[in-house]
Amino acid sequence: MLALVDVAYIKNVGIGGLLTFETWTAETPIAESIVRVRSLPKYVPGEFYKRELPVVLEALRSLPPTDAIKVEAVVLDGYVWLDGDEKGVGAYLFDELGGKIPVIGVAKTIFAGGPGIPILRGGSQRPLNITAAGIPAAEAAALVQSMHGPNRIPTLLKRVETLSRKAAGIRAT
């Protein structure tokens, strides 16, 4: 089983959307859920993980224990690594998971000077940038490339973004 997590915000409340799915090429999720985490710290440049990580962890904790032990990888909308060895949210998540579950970051915008493997999907000329922990970045990029959907954003990644944004009252991009 694979898990996808996305976070949206309303002031100091984080809304985490979670989808689980069976295979990288799946078109539909097994399950989806929403969590809300209140009283998050304000955004501080360079410390985004302090705001986002609690919501991602709460979303993963919402999985039934029998499903949680089946998670083979977690995919995040964002970065695992930022610049060199600088950790992104995904690297902090990988550490919180004891380094046992690969974490793959799919970023829609390129972080200036950041690492990652750009991939093009659909007819788009705007790449997605893939970073990973616990799995080689090239392998992670191939897996994201294989995900269902004819567009730049894989079907399930778009669905989890829509799920979290809709719960937050925000229109999906």
pLDDT in tens, 32-70: 999 999 988 888 888 889 999 999 999 999 999 888 889
pLDDT of residue 24: 98
Tokens of 61: 């904790």
3-state DSSP percent of the chain in helix, strand and coil, to 5: 30, 25, 45
pTM: 0.94
The length of the chain, given as a count of residues: 173
pLDDT in tens, 115-154: 899 999 999 999 999 999 999 999 999 999 999 999 999 9
For residue 85, pLDDT over 90 is answered with no
Sheet holding 73-77, edge to edge: 31-37, 13-21, 2-10, 73-77, 103-107, 128-133, 117-119
Q: For domain 2-168, say whether CATH 3.30.2170.10 is its number.
A: yes
On average, the pLDDT of the chain sits at 93
Domain positions in the chain:
2-168
Tokens of 169: 């009252």
